[in-house]
């Protein structure tokens, strides 16, 4: 039996709850673990399970709806919709994302994660990226 995808929320991470929830859901959407047509739990249920306020989940859903990932219909909850990826012509984005990735890697290294382990993780991510 196929399991529903899971998201993880760490209240002690220091990252705002809405950021964590939106980011985790986006990963699932980008990787195709949440396919168009899939329904997400209601705001009430997800907020209760994660131990956060209703508004936090509602805001994360709204953010993803604004990005074109979700359709929010009153009474129907949040449903994943097909999304056309906008084509980026300029290269300005690459420097920004590269900086953010380097910053993340630096953060991992500063927390004592071995370089080889980080490289392994990045290779695994690259595999998923090229597949989806």
Partner 1 sequence: MRLILCAVYVFVGAVLFALPNLTRRELLFAVPILPDFRESPAGRRAIASFRAAITAAVLAGVGVLLASPANLLNATATAVPLLLLFVAGISFYRQNRKLAPAAIQYTRPREVELTTAPEELPRFAWLAAGPFAILAAVAAWLHLHWDKIPGRFPVHFDASGNPNRWAERTLHGVYGPLVWGAELCAWVLVMALAGWFGSRRSRFRTTMLGAVIAVEYLLGVLFSLNAVQAPLGIPAWVILLATMAILIPLIIVMRNKIREPGGPMDATPKEGWKGRVFYYNPNDAALVVERRVGLGWTFNFANPWSWVLLLGLALVIASARFALA
Contact 54, 47 (CB under 8 A): yes
Return residues touching partner 1 (CB under 8 A): 3-13, 17, 28, 34, 39-42, 44-54, 56, 77
Contact criterion met (CB below 8 Å) for 113 and 106: no
Please, which residue, 84 or 111, has the CB nearer to partner 1? 111
Smallest distance, partner 1 to C-beta of residue 43, A:
9
Cβ distance to partner 1 smaller for residue 22 or 28: 28
- Min CB(94)–partner 1 separation in Å: 31
Least separation, in Å, of the C-beta of 7 and partner 1?
Answer: 6
Joined together, the tokens standing for residue 120 give 């392994």
34: its two tokens: 């949440």
Our CB check for partner 1 shows the closer of 39 and 99 to be 39
Between 71 and 99, name the residue whose CB sits nearer to partner 1: 71
Question: Is 10 in a helix, a strand, or coil?
Answer: coil
Using left for φ > 0, alpha for ψ between -120 and 50, and beta otherwise, residue 79 falls in beta
């Amino acid at each position: 039996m196929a399991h529903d995808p899971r998201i993880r929320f760490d209240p002690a991470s220091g990252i705002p709850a809405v950021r964590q929830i939106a980011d985790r859901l986006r990963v699932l959407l980008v990787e195709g673990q949440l396919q168009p047509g899939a329904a997400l739990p209601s705001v009430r249920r997800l907020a209760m399970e994660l131990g956060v306020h209703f508004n936090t989940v509602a805001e994360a859903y709204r953010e993803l709806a604004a990005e074109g990932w979700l359709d929010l219909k009153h009474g129907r909850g949040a449903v994943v919709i097909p999304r056309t990826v906008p084509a980026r012509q300029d290269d300005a984005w690459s420097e920004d994302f590269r900086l953010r990735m380097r910053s993340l890697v630096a953060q991992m290294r500063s927390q004592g994660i071995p370089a080889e382990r980080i490289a392994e993780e990045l290779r695994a991510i690259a595999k998923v990226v090229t597949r989806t």
